[in-house]
Amino acid sequence: MPLPPLTILYRDENYIAVDKPDGLQVHRSWISEESEQFLLQRLRDQIGQRVYTIHRLDRPTSGVILFGLSSEAARAMCGLFENHRVKKTYLAVARGYCDPQGHIDYPLREEPDKPLQQAITDYRTLATAELPIPVGRYSTARYSLVEIKPLTGRSRQIRKHFHHIFHPLIGDTSHGEGRHNRLYRERFAVHRLLLHAWKLAFPHPLSGEEMEIIAPLPEAFVRVMGEFGWEGV
């Protein structure tokens, strides 16, 4: 059965942005399985031309991701990322009541044998909710809808940072909390990480035009937000 086409959010002669589905790896790695599908391959096949990686999203994260349609265009955009001229905004659901706003400055390792690198994440809490369901030693379960702006781009940065501040993201099977993940599977039929790359904003490297590309919220997010009365947030 053929896979559905990727949703194209933006395209010009130099760049293309798509809405990456959760669970899809961006490109092949040394741990990939032979039969696995990859975003890079699917997009190339869909549009009939080569595309060039500019940045990445973790496999379980959904949302907007940008590619170059030439190596020169990709290099120009990579320069904007390196100079912190690209603003990335994510939405996530975290365990507990997060602070109204926060600044996480906590170095991370890309790999166990690599040195620590600076990693900074800003966030603000958009809404909170409490369920009358005991989880662990607490009589209720509390959650926060957070808007997240990573200022650096380390591997799994957002997930690791929210684990570090004791507010792991719902659906995170690597850095999260299994009892809360199970509650969301059983009560809301959520079987994914609730982390979504919502917006990407940058000055176009060639035209200078201020760009903002938005990926609509996935169905699992919409369902949870409806359950918690967060639709108007």
Which CATH number goes with the domain that contains 88? 3.30.2350.10
Task: Tell me whether residue 1 is in a domain.
Answer: no
Distance CA 169, CA 96 (A): 10
| Secondary structure class of 90 (helix, strand, coil) | strand
209 domain-assigned: yes
Cα separation, 68 vs 17, whole angstroms: 9
Provide the pLDDT for residue 36. 62
- Classify 114 as helix, strand or coil: coil
Q: Establish if 216 belongs to a structural domain.
A: yes
Q: How confident is the model over 43-69, as pLDDT tens digits?
A: 999 999 999 999 999 999 999 999 999
**Residue pLDDT, tens place only, 135-168:** 888 889 999 999 999 999 999 999 999 999 999 9
* Domain count within the chain: 1
Residue at 36 is within a domain: yes
**Annotation says 58 is catalytic:** yes
- The packing angle between helices 219-228 and 178-188, to 10°, is 90
Residue 99 falls within a domain, yes or no?
Answer: yes
CA distance 147 to 204: 24
The answer to whether 134 touches 148, Cβ cutoff 8 Å, is no
How many Å apart are CA 214 and CA 180, to the nearest integer? 28
In a domain, 38, yes or no: yes
* pLDDT digit string, tens, across residues 115-135: 999 999 999 999 999 999 988
Identify which has the larger pLDDT, 107 or 29. 107
Q: Residue 18: what are its φ and ψ, rounded to 5°?
A: -130, 165
User: 62 in a domain, yes or no?
Assistant: yes
Full domain range(s) for residue 142: 7-228
pLDDT value at residue 111: 79
pLDDT at 30: 45
| Res. 169 pLDDT band, cuts 50 70 90 | very high
The pLDDT of residue 31? 47
Q: Looking at residue 32, what is its pLDDT?
A: 46
Q: What is the pLDDT of residue 120?
A: 97
The residue from 22, 58, 105, 113 that is catalytic is 58
Which pTM was predicted?
0.93
In a domain, 157, yes or no: yes
In whole angstroms, give the CA distance from residue 170 to residue 180. 7
